[in-house]
Amino acid sequence: MTPPPGQSTDFLALRKTPYQEHALIVAGISPDQGRMSFFVRRPSSTSRRSYAHLDLFQLVRLDYRQSASELCYASNIELVADYCGVAAKQDAYNAACWISQFTLANLMAHIAMPQYFTALRVAFIRLTGGRPCPHAVLTGLALTYLHEAGLLNATRLSSTEAAQCELLLQMAQGGDFPGLPAETWDALWEWTRGELARAECLEV
The pLDDT value given to residue 202: 87
Residues 154 and 142: their CA atoms lie apart, in Å, by 15
DSSP letter at 109?
B
pLDDT at 28: 96
Q: Mean pLDDT in runs of 10 for the chain (204 residues)?
A: 67 91 88 91 54 81 83 89 93 96 94 96 93 90 95 80 91 92 94 92 79
pLDDT score of 2 = 40
pTM: 0.88
Domain boundaries, the chain: 7-82, 84-198
- Looking at residue 5, what is its pLDDT? 56
Which residue type, as a one-letter code, is found at position 170? Q
Q: What is the DSSP string of 142-194?
A: HHHHHHHTT---GGGS-HHHHHHHHHHHHHHTT-PPP---HHHHHHHHHHHHH
Phi, psi of 64 (to 5 degrees): -150, 160
CATH topology of domain 7-82: OB fold (Dihydrolipoamide Acetyltransferase, E2P) (2.40.50)
Three-class DSSP category at 119: helix
What pLDDT is stored for residue 50 in this prediction? 45
pLDDT for residue 44: 55
The whole-angstrom separation of Cα 136 and Cα 94 is 14
Q: What is the predicted pLDDT for the residue at 68? A: 67
Q: What is the pLDDT of residue 142?
A: 97
Q: Are 99 and 138 in contact (CB under 8 A)?
A: yes
3-state secondary structure of 5: coil
What does the pLDDT read at residue 3? Answer: 43
